């Protein structure tokens, strides 16, 4: 199981918050063309943060950033429909997938299978709730069919998954570097004793 000190969890929470602000904010995304990190942020919060309160805090932050983009950023209200509420279970799916993985984490190759399963299940559930919810419940599509939804999913899901995997891969690389440095320092401490 992955356990971190409260101090490390607070640092990670701050970094995830900044990452969401930078990539979800209308102002920063247009300046830097960064892909959205929201999906990865919720997953990584589930992995690294043991308390439950970051989930509702991140949900509020996502809503607030969307509201600010709409109210003051000039972003269209096209996505602000009754289906917007389905982002709650969409993001919670990613967070729960991260929690599930954190309980199965090992510092070895044995972690790859649970990590892969948690990523795939989290991504698929998030896509079904977010894009599926928008397609079926936004009111923007007159004749909804599962076939048309599958076609739309084949277009949009790879882009969301790519953004997720970019940020998750970056987090995995940083995690591995930090673990390697700590193991090297620990080995040196043992050798010097």
> Cα(155)–Cα(109) distance, rounded to whole angstroms?
32
Please provide the average confidence, as pLDDT, over all residues in the chain: 87
Q: What is Dmax (Cα atoms) for the chain?
A: 73
- Count of domains forming the chain: 1
Contact 77, 70 (CB under 8 A): yes
- Give the model confidence (pLDDT) of 109-119 as tens digits: 788 899 999 99
Q: Residue 63: pLDDT band by 50, 70, 90 thresholds?
A: very high
Q: 133 lies in a domain? A: yes
The candidate with the shortest Cα–Cα distance to 35, out of 172, 164, 125, is 164
> Cα(124)–Cα(12) distance, rounded to whole angstroms?
25
- Which residues form the domain of 32? 6-192
Q: 1 lies in a domain? A: no
Question: Is the pLDDT reported for residue 30 higher than 60?
Answer: no
Pick the range with the lowest mean pLDDT from 24-28, 67-71, 170-174: 24-28
> Cα(41)–Cα(15) distance, rounded to whole angstroms?
9
Question: Is the pLDDT reported for residue 178 higher than 80?
Answer: yes
- pLDDT reported for residue 79: 74
- pLDDT reported for residue 64: 92
Q: HSE (CB half, 13 Å, CA atoms) of 121? A: 15
Q: 154 lies in a domain? A: yes
Q: 188 lies in a domain? A: yes
Question: Is the pLDDT reported for residue 28 higher than 80?
Answer: no
Whether the pTM exceeds 0.85: the reply is yes
């Amino acid at each position: 199981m992955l356990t971190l000190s409260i101090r490390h969890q607070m640092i990670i929470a701050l970094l995830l918050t900044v990452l969401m602000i930078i990539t979800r904010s209308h102002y920063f995304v247009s300046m830097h063309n960064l892909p959205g990190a929201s999906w990865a942020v919720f997953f990584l919060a589930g992995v690294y943060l043991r308390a439950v309160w970051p989930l509702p805090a991140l949900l509020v932050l996502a809503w607030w950033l969307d509201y600010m983009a709409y109210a003051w950023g000039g972003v269209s209200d096209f996505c602000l429909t009754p289906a917007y509420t389905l982002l709650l279970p969409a993001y919670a799916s990613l967070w729960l997938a991260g929690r599930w993985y954190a309980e199965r984490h090992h510092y070895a190759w044995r972690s790859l299978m649970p990590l892969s399963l948690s990523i795939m299940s989290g991504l698929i559930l998030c896509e079904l709730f977010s894009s599926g919810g928008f397609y079926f419940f936004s009111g923007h599509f007159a004749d909804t069919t599962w076939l048309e939804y599958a076609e739309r999913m084949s277009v949009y899901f790879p882009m969301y998954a790519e953004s997720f995997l970019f940020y998750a891969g970056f987090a995995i690389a940083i995690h591995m570097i930090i673990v390697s440095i700590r193991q090297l320092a620990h080995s040196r401490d043992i050798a010097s004793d």
